[in-house]
C-alpha cells in the first residue's frame, strides 16, 4: 500500500518535472509574460494573532496596536500570462488577504479558484465571507478533496454557498495535477493530520520555471510515507509546518494532542541538506506562542543562522 502510494506520487513528480522542463524550453523567449507569482498572504496558525484569550507577552503588542496585523497562513498565486488568481486556504483573514492578492478587482471575476487544504477553522472558515450575508460571490471555483466536498455540500451553513452558487465545487484527486493553463498546475497530496471532518492535503504549485511546496499542517514527519528531505530537494521553495518552535511553548496543553513537527525537529531532520536546499525552506503556520514570529528572538536567529527561513506576509516569489 505504502509502495503504491509512493509510486503514484513519484509518477506525479516525474510528470511535473517533465512539465517544467517542457515549459521552460518552449517559453524561454516570452518569459516576461509567462510569470507566475506566489505571494505569502499570511503566516500564522489557525487561531491568528492576537489569539483569543491570550494574556501573554506574545499577543500583548498585537492587542495594543490593532493595525499591526499578520494573517493566518495562506498563499496567493497570480498567473500573469492569463491574468488569473488563486488562493490557497480561505482563512478568517480572507478579506484583507484577497485585497493583497487582487486589489480592487471583482472577486467573482478575478479570483479564479480557491484551493482548501482541510476542514480546520483557519483553513476554510473565511469562505463564509463569500456568502449572501457578505460579498455574495458568483460561482468562484472551490477546489476540494472528496471528504471536504462532502463536508461542504452536506453541512450548513457551508452548503448554502453551494446552493446559492456563491462557489462552484470542483473535485480534486490525490496526486492528480489540476492544470490551470500551460504554465501552471497545482497538485494536491494527502498528508497525515487530525482528520475529524476532512482529509488533509498539501499542495505542489508548479510554475513555468519553479515549483513550490505548501504543507501548513502535518503530523510528525515520521508519520508520512513520503520523505520530506527528498521532496525538499526536488522543489525550489518549501513552505512547511512551523506551528511550534519546541515543546517549551505549550505549557498548558498536552503536546500529544498537538502532534506537529517542532521547528527544532525539522532543523535536525534537514541538517544534512545542502545550503541551497536549506535556503528553500520557509516555516509557516506559526502558532501565536511561537517565539520565531519575533525577528529579534534567539529562535528566529537560530533558524536563519542554520540557512532556513521564516515566512513573512508580503514575501513574493516568481515560479
Ligand atoms: Zn492549521
Ligand atoms: Zn499569544
Ligand atoms: Zn489542521
Tens of pLDDT, residues 94-111: 999 999 999 999 999 999
Report d(CA 200, CA 224) in Å as an integer: 12
Report d(CA 238, CA 168) in Å as an integer: 29
Q: What strands, in cross-sheet order, belong to the sheet with 140-144?
A: 167-171, 140-144, 113-115, 84-88, 74-79, 36-42, 316-318
Would you call 316 helix, strand, or coil by DSSP?
Answer: strand
Total Cβ atoms within 10 A of residue 219: 17
Distance 29 CA to ligand 1 centre (A): 40
Distance 92 CA to ligand 2 centre (A): 17
The domain that contains 178 carries what CATH number? 3.60.15.10
Q: Return the C-alpha cell found at 264.
A: 527544532
Report d(CA 67, CA 100) in Å as an integer: 15
Distance 81 CA to ligand 3 centre (A): 33
pLDDT computed for residue 19 by the predictor: 41
| Count of domains observed in the chain | 1
Question: What is the phi/psi pair of residue 65, to 5°?
Answer: -110, 90
Distance 193 CA to ligand 3 centre (A): 7
- Closest listed ligand to the CA of 291: 2
Distance 77 CA to ligand 3 centre (A): 21
Mean pLDDT value of segment 194-222: 96
Distance 93 CA to ligand 3 centre (A): 16
Per cent of the chain over pLDDT 70 is 87
Q: How confident is the model at residue 18 (pLDDT cuts 50, 70, 90)?
A: very low
Per-residue b or e along 98-136, where b marks 16 or more CB atoms closer than 10 Å to that residue's CB: bebbbeeeebeebbbbbbbbbbbebbbbbbbbbbeeebe
- The mean pLDDT value of the chain amounts to 90
Distance 118 CA to ligand 3 centre (A): 7
Q: Give the residue numbers spanning the domain of 221.
A: 2-317
Distance 21 CA to ligand 3 centre (A): 34
Mean pLDDT value of segment 266-272: 98
Provide the whole-model pTM.
Answer: 0.88
- Closest listed ligand to the CA of 119: 3
Which distant-in-sequence residues (6+ apart) come within 8 Å of 266 by Cβ? 221, 240, 242, 281, 283
pLDDT digits (tens, 9 = 90+) for 33-84: 568 999 999 999 999 999 999 999 999 999 998 778 899 999 999 999 999 9
Which distant-in-sequence residues (6+ apart) come within 8 Å of 314 by Cβ? 39, 40, 100
Least confident of 33-42, 189-198, 274-283: 33-42
Q: 35: phi > 0 → left, psi -120 to 50 → alpha, else beta; which?
A: beta
Distance 38 CA to ligand 3 centre (A): 22
Distance 67 CA to ligand 3 centre (A): 27
Would you call 67 helix, strand, or coil by DSSP?
Answer: coil
Amino acid at each position: 500500500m505504502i509502495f503504491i502510494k509512493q509510486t503514484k506520487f513519484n509518477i506525479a513528480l516525474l510528470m511535473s518535472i517533465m512539465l517544467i522542463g517542457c515549459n521552460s524550453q518552449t517559453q524561454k523567449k516570452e518569459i516576461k509574460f509567462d510569470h507566475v507569482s506566489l505571494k505569502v498572504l499570511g503566516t500564522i496558525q489557525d487561531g491568528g494573532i492576537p489569539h483569543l484569550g491570550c494574556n501573554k507577552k506574545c499577543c500583548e503588542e498585537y492587542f495594543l496596536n490593532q493595525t499591526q496585523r499578520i494573517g493566518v497562513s495562506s498563499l496567493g498565486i497570480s498567473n500573469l500570462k492569463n491574468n488569473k488568481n488563486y488562493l490557497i486556504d480561505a482563512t478568517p483573514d480572507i478579506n484583507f488577504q484577497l485585497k493583497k492578492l487582487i486589489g480592487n478587482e471583482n472577486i467573482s471575476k478575478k479570483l479564479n479558484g480557491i484551493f482548501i487544504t482541510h476542514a480546520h477553522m483557519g483553513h476554510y472558515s473565511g469562505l463564509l465571507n463569500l456568502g449572501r450575508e457578505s460579498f455574495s460571490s458568483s460561482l468562484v471555483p472551490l477546489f476540494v478533496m472528496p471528504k471536504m466536498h462532502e463536508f461542504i455540500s452536506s453541512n450548513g451553513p457551508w452548503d448554502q454557498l453551494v446552493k446559492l452558487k456563491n462557489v462552484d465545487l470542483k473535485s480534486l484527486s490525490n496526486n492528480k495535477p489540476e492544470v490551470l493553463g500551460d504554465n501552471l498546475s497545482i497538485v494536491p497530496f494527502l498528508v497525515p493530520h487530525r482528520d475529524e471532518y476532512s482529509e488533509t492535503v498539501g499542495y505542489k504549485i508548479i510554475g513555468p520555471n519553479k515549483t513550490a511546496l505548501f504543507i501548513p499542517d502535518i503530523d510528525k514527519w515520521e508519520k508520512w510515507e513520503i520523505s520530506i528531505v527528498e521532496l525538499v530537494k526536488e522543489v525550489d521553495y518549501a513552505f512547511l509546518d512551523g506551528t511550534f518552535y519546541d515543546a517549551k511553548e505549550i505549557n498548558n496543553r498536552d503536546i500529544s494532542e498537538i502532534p506537529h513537527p517542532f521547528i527544532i525537529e525539522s532543523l535536525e531532520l534537514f541538517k544534512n541538506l545542502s545550503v541551497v536546499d536549506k535556503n528553500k525552506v520557509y516555516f509557516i503556520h506559526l502558532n501565536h506562542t511561537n517565539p520565531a514570529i519575533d525577528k529579534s528572538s534567539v529562535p528566529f536567529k537560530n533558524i536563519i543562522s542554520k540557512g532556513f527561513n521564516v515566512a513573512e506576509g508580503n514575501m513574493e516569489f516568481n515560479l
